[in-house]
Chains A and B, each alone.
Chain A
Amino acid sequence: MFTNNEIIETIDMLDNRHLDVRTVTLSLSLVDCIDSSVGKCCDKVYEKITRVCKRLVPVCESLSKRFGVEIVNKRIAVTPISIIGASCGGYTELCKTLDRAGRELGVDFIGGYSALVHKSATAAENAFLDTLPQALSETEIVCGSVNVASSKTGINLDAVGKLGRVIKDLAYRTRDINSFGCGKLVVFCNAVDDNPFMAGAFTGISEGDCSVNVGVSGPGVVEYEINKHPDYDITSVCELIKRTAFKITRLGQLIGSAAAKELGLPCGIVDLSLAPTPAVGDSVARVLESIGLSRVGSCGTTAALALLNDAVKKGGVMAANRVGGLSGAFIPVSEDAGMIDAVRAGALNIEKLEAMTAVCSVGLDMIAVPGDTSAAVISAMIADECAIGMINNKTTAVRIVPVYGKTVGDEVDFGGLFGTAPIMAVNGGDPSAFIARGGVVPPPIHANKN
């Protein structure tokens, strides 16, 4: 039997501190759906997704009731469509097929409209990249990602240059919804094969047929625990975060194992994550503030985030059978109430966020910038993030929204979990000649380990 305190603490975390499972993501390989006919390829893709993932949503809803744990999103991640569609070339048709299959099943998102071009792009992959604006603007729940750099291969500056133009085009095409199409596209360095989080989830080519991956969330729990102990020194704070992360991750492992068992599929990884939502009490920024910063963005933010990120991993590793995905604290701006407040107050800028991305899970995430930001500037921001990821052997990403017709001082509402974004200023200067050079930035010397 458990003590009353243990039971009440668990219920309090779930009911009052926003502890939830952010996503159960079914990873599904579509390699066996490749066909030279667009129609046949789409049919095979639709049939496989709706057959294998049929029970995903009902199983998650049943588990949610059994354990009293909210499972916020149910998602599907598939093999990069640039590979599946290379033979038939029907990329946008495949994108619409994914959208139709996902909506039929009632999932929240389906990821994998993706390409892996971190060394170089084939002609088919270049054609795929050109379809991104149309495909993502004409579908609802499909998410796309492009891996343009890695520590082993360097930075594909041609792809970086192209993605700047793709993002601008996507922003224009979705101008009626505050350019939100860009919220469904993420550009990676060192993308991972088993990421359960959107917009960057896809089933890597190294993965098996299918598996059930889980991403947990619980910044509110961590903030609450730290706030209870203002007298702790920083070593004790780290220990407290580890203990809390252990519990949070155990919840993810429980749900992941149970979902895999009920679906009759292999259990994949748990992403050791602290993922915020715009709700009050569910903010990573507030965790940093509870460590002792008056406002996120102040000096000390990078150090606080580094210790948080590391302690979350140390606590989570022992709680999960297999660890994977992005694993770390996320710092999206529009999806985090504390980040939004800090930007509004002028305390947090893109330069500080860039520094933060060097020590945490991903990168410049859900940041709204002026609509007149040039494609070259966006490409250069991507290049900067790629450089941080490439040199430091970590995943970095850019999910940036140049909101059409808006400028600094404006604010846009993306709705739901995507939150509100104040438009942030971008540093001046023109990097267009740098981006226009094209080519590949060679990998760093420490990539040559063999």
Chain B
Amino acid sequence: MLVAKSKGMWYTAYIMKAVVSVIGIDRTGIIAAVSGKLAEWQINIEDISQTIMQNNFVMIMLVDTSSSALELDKIGAMLQASVEHLGVTVHVQHEDLFNAMQRV
């Protein structure tokens, strides 16, 4: 939750942040495919990192979905479907999951 000031009044604005993780075999075009779709859906990438872990390509993004018309519940399945041909597994999960499990 973000507290914002507008026209002299304080408002609470909900920001919907999600973690996008992409795991699979490295090949060209993965980042382009994922970020292209996110841009198309008005989802802003706030942070991005990419690494190779145990021979797997791992890309993790923190994204803000509050400007998108799509509900977070649906984005995961849609993104997975659109990058299926690249042979990668995609998860889109609300950041609260990671806050709950990885932070005291």
Residues of A within 8 A of B (CB): 1-2, 4, 6-11, 13, 62, 65-69, 247, 250-251, 253-254, 258
Contact = CB atoms under 8 A, between A and B. Distances in A.
Nearest to A5: B53
A395 B73 CA distance: 39
Given A250-B101, A251-B101, A66 B62 contact: no
The 4 lowest CB-CB distance pairs between A and B, nearest first, are A254-B100, A65-B73, A68-B93, A250-B100
A253 B21 CA distance: 23
Contact of B101 (A4, A65, A247): A247
30 contacts: A1-B47, A1-B62, A2-B19, A2-B60, A4-B53, A4-B58, A4-B60, A6-B98, A6-B102, A7-B98, A8-B21, A8-B58, A10-B98, A10-B101, A11-B23, A11-B91, A13-B101, A65-B72, A65-B76, A66-B94, A68-B76, A68-B91, A68-B93, A247-B102, A250-B100, A251-B97, A251-B101, A254-B97, A254-B100, A254-B101
B73 A62 contact: yes
Contacts of A9: 102
A26 B45 CA distance: 37
Nearest to B91: A68
Given A1-B47, A4-B53, A253 B100 contact: yes
Contacts of A250: 100-101
A231 B42 CA distance: 50
B21 A254 contact: no
Interface residues of B, number: 25
A8 B62 CA distance: 14
A280 to B, nearest CB: 21
Nearest to B95: A2
Contacts of B23: 8, 11
B31 interface: no
B22 to A, nearest CB: 11
A6 B97 CA distance: 11
Contacts of A4: 49, 51, 53, 58, 60
Nearest to A19: B101
B100 A2 contact: no
Residue with the greatest number of chain B CB neighbours at <10 A, chosen from A62, A67, A247, A254? A67
A66 B93 contact: yes
A251 B100 contact: yes
Contacts of A258: 96
A7 B58 CA distance: 10
